Amino acid sequence: QGTPEEASRMLRAAVRAYGASLVGYSELTQEHRDHVIFSYEKGDSNNEKYIGTTIPVTAARPIVLENVPKAYETTEKLVIPNVPLWEIAMSTQGSNELWRSAGTLLGGMANGNTFYNCANLHASTYNFLRYLGYQLIGTIGNDARYVGSEGGAAIMAGLGEASRQKLYTLTPEYGAPGRLYGVLTDLPLEPTHPIDFGP
Protein backbone atom coordinates (compact mmCIF):
# COMPACT_ATOMS: atom_id res chain seq x y z
CA GLN A 1 0.00 0.00 0.00
CA GLY A 2 1.33 3.42 -0.96
CA THR A 3 0.96 6.77 0.74
CA PRO A 4 -2.11 9.02 0.40
CA GLU A 5 0.00 11.31 -1.80
CA GLU A 6 0.83 8.43 -4.15
CA ALA A 7 -2.79 7.27 -4.17
CA SER A 8 -3.92 10.80 -5.05
CA ARG A 9 -1.54 11.03 -8.00
CA MET A 10 -2.50 7.55 -9.20
CA LEU A 11 -6.24 8.22 -8.98
CA ARG A 12 -5.88 11.64 -10.63
CA ALA A 13 -4.07 10.05 -13.59
CA ALA A 14 -6.75 7.36 -13.88
CA VAL A 15 -9.81 9.62 -13.78
CA ARG A 16 -8.19 12.10 -16.17
CA ALA A 17 -7.67 9.20 -18.58
CA TYR A 18 -11.35 8.24 -18.10
CA GLY A 19 -12.53 11.74 -19.08
CA ALA A 20 -12.41 14.07 -16.07
CA SER A 21 -10.88 17.48 -16.73
CA LEU A 22 -10.35 18.55 -13.11
CA VAL A 23 -9.90 16.37 -10.03
CA GLY A 24 -9.53 17.20 -6.34
CA TYR A 25 -9.99 15.54 -2.97
CA SER A 26 -11.21 16.41 0.51
CA GLU A 27 -11.44 14.37 3.67
CA LEU A 28 -15.02 13.69 4.70
CA THR A 29 -14.98 15.28 8.15
CA GLN A 30 -17.94 15.30 10.51
CA GLU A 31 -18.73 18.83 9.35
CA HIS A 32 -18.85 17.59 5.74
CA ARG A 33 -21.04 14.67 6.78
CA ASP A 34 -23.42 17.13 8.45
CA HIS A 35 -23.50 19.81 5.71
CA VAL A 36 -22.36 18.38 2.36
CA ILE A 37 -23.88 14.88 2.33
CA PHE A 38 -27.59 14.89 1.49
CA SER A 39 -30.21 13.44 3.83
CA TYR A 40 -32.07 12.01 0.83
CA GLU A 41 -31.30 11.13 -2.76
CA LYS A 42 -33.26 13.16 -5.30
CA GLY A 43 -34.65 9.90 -6.59
CA ASP A 44 -38.00 10.43 -8.28
CA SER A 45 -38.65 13.66 -6.37
CA ASN A 46 -37.77 15.90 -9.32
CA ASN A 47 -40.32 14.18 -11.54
CA GLU A 48 -42.87 16.43 -13.26
CA LYS A 49 -45.73 14.47 -11.67
CA TYR A 50 -44.97 16.25 -8.37
CA ILE A 51 -45.35 19.80 -9.74
CA GLY A 52 -47.83 21.62 -7.51
CA THR A 53 -48.07 18.77 -5.00
CA THR A 54 -46.29 17.63 -1.89
CA ILE A 55 -43.53 15.17 -2.69
CA PRO A 56 -44.01 11.90 -0.78
CA VAL A 57 -41.12 10.62 1.33
CA THR A 58 -41.15 7.42 -0.72
CA ALA A 59 -40.05 9.34 -3.84
CA ALA A 60 -36.45 9.41 -2.58
CA ARG A 61 -34.45 7.07 -0.36
CA PRO A 62 -32.80 8.42 2.79
CA ILE A 63 -29.01 8.47 2.92
CA VAL A 64 -27.88 7.23 6.32
CA LEU A 65 -24.59 6.62 8.11
CA GLU A 66 -24.18 3.23 9.79
CA ASN A 67 -21.36 1.52 11.64
CA VAL A 68 -20.65 -0.97 8.86
CA PRO A 69 -17.41 -1.51 6.89
CA LYS A 70 -18.91 -1.19 3.38
CA ALA A 71 -21.62 0.89 1.75
CA TYR A 72 -24.80 -0.88 0.73
CA GLU A 73 -28.23 -0.01 -0.53
CA THR A 74 -31.73 -1.40 -0.32
CA THR A 75 -35.00 -0.18 -1.79
CA GLU A 76 -35.52 1.76 1.46
CA LYS A 77 -32.11 3.42 2.03
CA LEU A 78 -28.57 4.10 0.87
CA VAL A 79 -26.04 3.41 3.63
CA ILE A 80 -22.71 5.18 3.89
CA PRO A 81 -20.28 3.45 6.26
CA ASN A 82 -19.19 5.42 9.30
CA VAL A 83 -15.49 4.90 8.48
CA PRO A 84 -12.78 7.32 7.27
CA LEU A 85 -13.83 8.49 3.80
CA TRP A 86 -12.58 10.96 1.20
CA GLU A 87 -14.61 12.85 -1.37
CA ILE A 88 -13.43 12.86 -4.97
CA ALA A 89 -14.54 16.00 -6.82
CA MET A 90 -14.34 15.89 -10.63
CA SER A 91 -15.60 17.82 -13.59
CA THR A 92 -16.23 17.24 -17.26
CA GLN A 93 -16.12 20.33 -19.41
CA GLY A 94 -18.34 21.85 -22.03
CA SER A 95 -17.12 24.02 -24.86
CA ASN A 96 -17.13 27.76 -24.18
CA GLU A 97 -17.44 28.37 -27.92
CA LEU A 98 -20.53 26.14 -28.19
CA TRP A 99 -22.13 27.68 -25.08
CA ARG A 100 -22.05 31.03 -26.87
CA SER A 101 -24.46 29.65 -29.47
CA ALA A 102 -27.13 28.64 -26.93
CA GLY A 103 -30.55 28.10 -28.48
CA THR A 104 -29.11 26.38 -31.55
CA LEU A 105 -28.29 22.77 -32.29
CA LEU A 106 -24.62 23.51 -31.65
CA GLY A 107 -25.53 25.22 -28.39
CA GLY A 108 -27.36 22.07 -27.33
CA MET A 109 -24.18 20.12 -27.95
CA ALA A 110 -22.40 22.33 -25.39
CA ASN A 111 -24.67 20.92 -22.72
CA GLY A 112 -24.82 17.40 -24.12
CA ASN A 113 -21.10 16.91 -24.49
CA THR A 114 -20.61 17.36 -20.74
CA PHE A 115 -22.63 14.18 -20.21
CA TYR A 116 -21.27 11.97 -22.99
CA ASN A 117 -18.44 10.48 -21.00
CA CYS A 118 -20.18 10.16 -17.61
CA ALA A 119 -21.04 6.48 -17.93
CA ASN A 120 -17.45 5.62 -18.81
CA LEU A 121 -16.09 7.91 -16.09
CA HIS A 122 -18.32 6.30 -13.46
CA ALA A 123 -17.83 2.67 -14.50
CA SER A 124 -14.08 3.03 -15.00
CA THR A 125 -13.50 4.84 -11.70
CA TYR A 126 -15.74 2.38 -9.84
CA ASN A 127 -13.90 -0.63 -11.24
CA PHE A 128 -10.46 0.95 -10.81
CA LEU A 129 -11.10 1.42 -7.08
CA ARG A 130 -12.80 -1.98 -6.74
CA TYR A 131 -9.83 -3.78 -8.30
CA LEU A 132 -7.58 -2.06 -5.75
CA GLY A 133 -9.86 -3.26 -2.92
CA TYR A 134 -11.61 0.05 -2.24
CA GLN A 135 -15.12 1.30 -2.79
CA LEU A 136 -16.73 4.15 -4.70
CA ILE A 137 -19.91 5.45 -3.07
CA GLY A 138 -22.27 7.56 -5.15
CA THR A 139 -22.87 7.99 -8.85
CA ILE A 140 -21.15 10.09 -11.49
CA GLY A 141 -23.61 11.67 -13.89
CA ASN A 142 -27.01 10.71 -12.44
CA ASP A 143 -28.63 13.61 -10.59
CA ALA A 144 -31.14 11.31 -8.93
CA ARG A 145 -28.37 9.28 -7.23
CA TYR A 146 -25.98 11.97 -5.95
CA VAL A 147 -24.96 11.57 -2.31
CA GLY A 148 -23.89 15.17 -1.73
CA SER A 149 -23.46 18.66 -3.05
CA GLU A 150 -21.18 18.61 -6.08
CA GLY A 151 -20.54 22.34 -5.80
CA GLY A 152 -19.60 21.95 -2.14
CA ALA A 153 -17.28 19.06 -2.98
CA ALA A 154 -15.60 21.07 -5.75
CA ILE A 155 -15.10 24.09 -3.50
CA MET A 156 -13.69 22.06 -0.59
CA ALA A 157 -11.35 20.18 -2.97
CA GLY A 158 -10.06 23.39 -4.54
CA LEU A 159 -11.49 22.94 -8.03
CA GLY A 160 -13.16 26.34 -7.94
CA GLU A 161 -15.11 28.92 -6.00
CA ALA A 162 -18.78 29.64 -5.48
CA SER A 163 -20.31 32.25 -7.75
CA ARG A 164 -22.98 34.88 -7.27
CA GLN A 165 -25.41 32.76 -9.29
CA LYS A 166 -25.17 30.09 -6.54
CA LEU A 167 -25.72 27.45 -9.21
CA TYR A 168 -22.24 27.40 -10.69
CA THR A 169 -18.84 26.73 -9.26
CA LEU A 170 -16.33 28.80 -11.20
CA THR A 171 -12.94 27.31 -11.99
CA PRO A 172 -9.85 29.32 -12.94
CA GLU A 173 -9.20 26.95 -15.85
CA TYR A 174 -12.65 26.83 -17.47
CA GLY A 175 -15.04 29.27 -15.80
CA ALA A 176 -18.56 27.88 -15.41
CA PRO A 177 -19.24 25.53 -18.36
CA GLY A 178 -19.08 21.91 -17.32
CA ARG A 179 -20.48 19.39 -14.88
CA LEU A 180 -19.31 18.66 -11.36
CA TYR A 181 -19.43 15.27 -9.69
CA GLY A 182 -18.68 14.23 -6.14
CA VAL A 183 -18.30 10.64 -4.98
CA LEU A 184 -16.86 9.03 -1.87
CA THR A 185 -14.12 6.45 -1.40
CA ASP A 186 -12.34 4.71 1.46
CA LEU A 187 -9.01 4.93 -0.40
CA PRO A 188 -6.88 7.27 1.77
CA LEU A 189 -6.11 10.38 -0.32
CA GLU A 190 -4.07 13.54 0.18
CA PRO A 191 -6.60 16.39 0.32
CA THR A 192 -6.27 19.28 -2.07
CA HIS A 193 -7.30 22.60 -0.55
CA PRO A 194 -9.87 25.33 -1.20
CA ILE A 195 -8.59 28.13 -3.42
CA ASP A 196 -9.02 31.87 -3.80
CA PHE A 197 -8.30 32.90 -7.37
CA GLY A 198 -9.26 36.55 -7.05
CA PRO A 199 -12.26 38.90 -7.04
- With 0-12 CB in 10 A as exposed, 13-18 as middle and 19+ as buried, what is 1? exposed
> Using an 8 Å Cβ cutoff, are 177 and 95 in contact?
yes
Percentage of the chain modeled with pLDDT above 70: 94
Per-residue pLDDT at 118: 80
Whether 44 is in a domain gets the answer no
Of 29-38, 62-71, 141-150, 175-184, highest mean pLDDT: 62-71
User: Each residue of 99-120: pLDDT tens digit?
Assistant: 788 888 888 887 777 777 788 8
Percent of the chain with pLDDT over 90: 40
- Domain assignment present for 104: yes
- Asked if residue 155 is part of any domain, the answer here is yes
DSSP calls for 104-170: SHHHHHHHHTTTTTHHHHHHHHHHHHHHTT--EES-SS-GGG--B-HHHHHHHTTS-EE-TTSS-EE
Instruction: Decide if pLDDT at 79 tops 90.
Output: yes
| E strands, 28-135, in order | 63-66, 72-73, 78-81, 86-92
Q: Is residue 72 part of a domain?
A: no
* pLDDT at residue 177 in the model: 66
Structural domain includes residue 195 = no
Is 142 a residue whose pLDDT tops 70?
A: no
Number of domain units in the chain: 1
**For residue 75, is it within any domain?**
no
Angstrom distance (rounded) from CA 44 to CA 25? 29
- Give me the domain span that covers residue 171: 4-28+84-185
Asked if residue 42 has pLDDT above 70, the reply is yes
23 belongs to a structural domain: yes
pLDDT at site 16: 95
pLDDT at residue 46 in the model: 67
166 pLDDT more than 70: no
